[in-house]
Structure 1
Amino acid sequence: MGFRSYVMAACAALSLAGCAGGSGSGPNATPEEAAAAAYRAGAPYTLTLYTMVNNRTDNGAHTSLMVNAPSQRVVFDPAGSVRFSSVPEVNDVLYGITPQVKQMYESAHARETYRVRIQEVKVSAEVAEQALNLVRSYGQVPPTQCTQSTSTVLGQLPGFESIKTVWYPNQLSKAFAQIPGVQTRVLRENDSDDKDLAIMQMEGAIRAQNGQ
């Protein structure tokens, strides 16, 4: 393959990989803010793989991972674009994943143009804590590397050695589905494609509930 052909193939691959739209990461919260927001959901301890899928093409568009560990529940959202003002973020890890925030996170990704494939598997407390430590220490992820970073984390965990480092969301989703005990559901909504508008509406509803 000539150099020009190689460059064109590489560009095509990046355009199909998840997170191609760039990172939505904002300024990091302080360690104190992240610690104050920590939420413990309790057992069962789980890993939940999110795959955002284009409804028109069926191509995967983004990958993220929710880790429910004994110490707290977080979402590793590498190079993601869904951020809430009330949810502290440090290096692409979202803290304070209460049931309400979890629902908001999933709903913000599901809209008329995308559906969310949600794959959950129960793990031991030790594996969940190891996953939590890995995502917290990974560091901020560059654009286009959401699936690469998530698969790298998963492949280091006991019981997930079959998962290799890959670049495509659907490829990781298929590998994750082979892990024993994985439960899958798909979330579809008909909201506008404007995620920012959806986030504003959700946060407005929360403020109204809290009397703010």
Structure 2
Amino acid sequence: MLRAVALALLLPVLAGCGADNVYAPMAEVERRAWQEPGPATLTLVTAISNRSGAGGHSALMVSGSQRVIFDPAGTWHHPTAPERGDVIFGITPTMYDFYIDYHARPTYHVVTQRILVPAATAERALQLVQAHGPAGKATCGQSVSGILRELGFTQVRRAWFPDRIMRDFDTVPGVVRSEIFDDTVDEHSPERSTIQAINDDRIALDG
């Protein structure tokens, strides 16, 4: 009973975790594959509420023989970045910018935590995220923290809440942290429909 209550409370908090399962054709995945120049890296991406400081979503970008974003139960998509089982492929610099811009909005900012890793660790991460399969709704934190622990980051505890995972990852030596704020609501923002509804209501009242 307590577990059911806890899960119910998580759903409104983890607002970014709730997508349907998607499996793009492998031919499209292979065609869009992108390898970022430079050393192998892992980047933890966390959406943080500007009001409460709570974590809304966790994702993990892996850059090795190719660059992907493990986006468990995420809602971002783009026609040139095919997705299979919560792994988004073809993460070019432009696609990465689009992904960050989607999550950074008036109500949330994005924290990225990047760390250099051996090439073998990045390849292991690519294997793990592709083998994970689609995550259940509101389980992004559990999925991402589980992958990080399997990669040897024992400082990161298995957790539901993205902000807790973020704080744990801060303790890993070599992590470089950045914060991205964006007060604009663009055409593809998940908040656009809500703001449009508010504006429509105001127009109706004024009329």
- Listed as ranges, the matches of 1:57-72 within 5 Å are 57-69=52-64, 71-72=65-66
Alignment match, 2:143: 149
Q: Which runs of 5+ in 1 are unaligned?
A: 199-212
Judged with a 3 Å threshold, the aligned counterparts in structure 2 of structure 1 residues 197 and 8 are, in CA distance, closer, same or farther, namely closer
C-alpha RMSD of matched pairs (Å): 2.0
Superposition TM-score, scaled by structure 1 size:
0.83
Which 5+ residue runs of structure 2 have no aligned equivalent? 193-207
TM-fit CA distance, 1:82: 1.0
The answer to whether structure 1 residue 173 and structure 2 residue 166 are counterparts is yes
1:55 aligned partner: 50
Separation in 2, partners of 1:61, 1:28: 24
C-alpha distance in 2 between matches for 1:68 and 1:47: 6
1:195: how far off?
Answer: 1.6
Is the 8 Å Cα contact of residues 115 and 189 (structure 1) preserved in structure 2? Answer: yes
Q: Percent identity?
A: 36
Give the AA of the match of 1:12: L
**1:102 aligns to what?**
96
Q: 1:33 aligns with which of 20, 23, 28?
A: 28
Work out the CA distance in 2 between the residues paired with 1:143 and 1:101: 24
Q: 3-state DSSP class of the match of 2:150?
A: coil
CA distance in 2, matches of 1:63, 1:43: 24
Say which SS state the counterpart of residue 100 (structure 2) adopts. helix
Q: Report how far residue 7 of structure 1 moved.
A: 4.5
Q: Taking structure 1 as reference, are residues 106 and 112 closer, same or farther at Cα in structure 2, changes over 3 Å only? A: same
Letter aligned with residue 179 of structure 2: V
Please name the residue that 1:12 is paired with.
9
Q: Deviations over 1:20-69 (max 9, x none)?
A: 45522453101111111110013221100011011111110000010001
- TM-score w.r.t. the length of structure 2 is 0.85
Check conservation: 2:69, 2:87, Cα contact below 8 A: yes
Structure 1 stretches of 4+ with a deviation exceeding 6 A read: none
